[in-house]
Structure 1
């Protein structure tokens, strides 16, 4: 068994490294196209309805299993080069060369994007915003580093690298004037929860390793409001059942 599978988390190919994956069927966050109906919108979305390892979840620190989790080896360069408003989120594409190494297995950072309010919760607490750093290995297996934002008095300097250039309209892209360094978003403490989950958007593909940072970072009220106003609606999938999955801490 490969070392990075030693915790019992099995990765499956998600086909496309650039989650959220595009769907040929329209979907959204409310009404007949909302999360409770995603599984009905297309056969490809069946996992959204019947999957047993779906994301996001509520991470219960008391019930999480204490494990010898290996430290995250993050080798990030300044590589964020384009911001896309795809109507569901703001996504920043990342140039090749930035990696996450987990248990000796390398995943390359492909993009990062945002949800407000947060999708994952910690001990029942929702945060105003969450970032997902999406990585893929050479076979297309996915690992996502999730990062919570709490509201504070000061602007988040990492966000300010590209926040002023966020495209305001769906399907708009903006070439960033300077490459974004995603490492400037991260908390000082890289302690994390780990669980096996899925994409949080259709087709809800399972087999994704989730690494959720325990320590939130701060963003200002104005920064959070700018994102929510551009989106025009909450873009978080409700928490899903944990079922029999182990959550490691």
Structure 2
């Protein structure tokens, strides 16, 4: 019960943390000392990580049922967050994790074999107990991404601005055909850095044009990625 309550609190903070004004990306090394509520940022199981070594395992296939539409996009100064109606579900570990929101980082937060990507998306989920699962997907520079193109047309330019889409876009279409993944235990990548998050990093790399990547970077005005954190003995598994 105590664990469930802590996870629920962590998720509540996660849905609002980007609105906090008491942290920024220029002081990532000091997050843990900014406030007692951010003490977990000094923990031993933090994200993001460099996925350098992994162990093959019998991982269950990821089953997504994203039967929902993108409704709004908001600029909170730290990222662009996309929200939608209920209906998106990830089946994981015999449980259902509801899709809550997704957002972007540039450059990528996680790395794969030491490689950083220019853009990373995080699909954030929570189960009935408030426990979190984040599905990450990387973008490299290449062909224009038609799915991002639709959202990029309506990117809110000002911090605090929220845009409601006149033509909602299906979320399911953003997922790749190949859903093989890496898995590890980690944390939120922003304060309060709560641990116990199930991280699933998709192996298939998507493409976005140089212009699309630059447009998001210019909108943020600064890199919005937390530096790589030590593994501290954690094991990364893959299928």
Q: Does TM-score exceed 0.5, indicating one fold?
A: yes
Quote how far apart the aligned CAs of 1:103 are: 2.7
Equivalent in the alignment of 1:221: 210
TM-score by length of 2: 0.93
Quote how far apart the aligned CAs of 1:12 are: 6.2
Cα pair distance change 1:57/1:20, threshold 3 Å: farther
Quote how far apart the aligned CAs of 1:184 are: 2.2
Equivalent in the alignment of 2:180: 191
Quote how far apart the aligned CAs of 1:138 are: 1.2
Quote how far apart the aligned CAs of 1:177 are: 1.6
User: Gaps spanning 5+ residues in structure 2: where?
Assistant: none
Quote how far apart the aligned CAs of 1:14 are: 4.6
Quote how far apart the aligned CAs of 1:18 are: 7.1
Equivalent in the alignment of 2:61: 71
On the 8 A contact 2:145/2:209 being kept in 1, the answer is: yes
TM-score by length of 1: 0.89
Equivalent in the alignment of 2:47: 55
Structure 2 CA distance for aligned equivalents of residues 66 and 18 of structure 1: 34
Equivalent in the alignment of 2:158: 169
Quote how far apart the aligned CAs of 1:178 are: 1.8
1:19 is the counterpart of 2:14: yes
1:238 is the counterpart of 2:227: yes
Equivalent in the alignment of 2:237: 248
On the 8 A contact 2:70/2:171 being kept in 1, the answer is: yes
- How far does the alpha carbon of each residue in 1:190-249 deviate from its partner, in whole angstroms, 9 at most, with x for none? 000000000000010111000000111011111111100000000000010011211111
Q: Which moved more, 1:180-189 or 1:74-83?
A: 180-189
Equivalent in the alignment of 1:3: none
User: Gaps spanning 5+ residues in structure 1: where?
Assistant: 1-9
On the 8 A contact 1:21/1:201 being kept in 2, the answer is: no
1:144 is the counterpart of 2:134: yes
Q: Which moved more, 1:109-118 or 1:215-224?
A: 215-224
Cα pair distance change 1:39/1:168, threshold 3 Å: same
Quote how far apart the aligned CAs of 1:20 are: 5.7
1:105 is the counterpart of 2:99: no
1:114 is the counterpart of 2:107: no
Structure 2 CA distance for aligned equivalents of residues 235 and 148 of structure 1: 15
Q: What is the Cα-based RMSD across aligned positions, in Å? A: 1.8
Cα pair distance change 1:119/1:14, threshold 3 Å: farther
Quote how far apart the aligned CAs of 1:26 are: 1.2
On the 8 A contact 1:158/1:181 being kept in 2, the answer is: no
Q: Which moved more, 1:223-232 or 1:75-84?
A: 75-84
Bigger fraction of residues in helix: 2
- How far does the alpha carbon of each residue in 1:125-177 deviate from its partner, in whole angstroms, 9 at most, with x for none? 0000000000011111110000000000x321221231110101111100012
1:28 is the counterpart of 2:18: no
1:180 is the counterpart of 2:169: yes
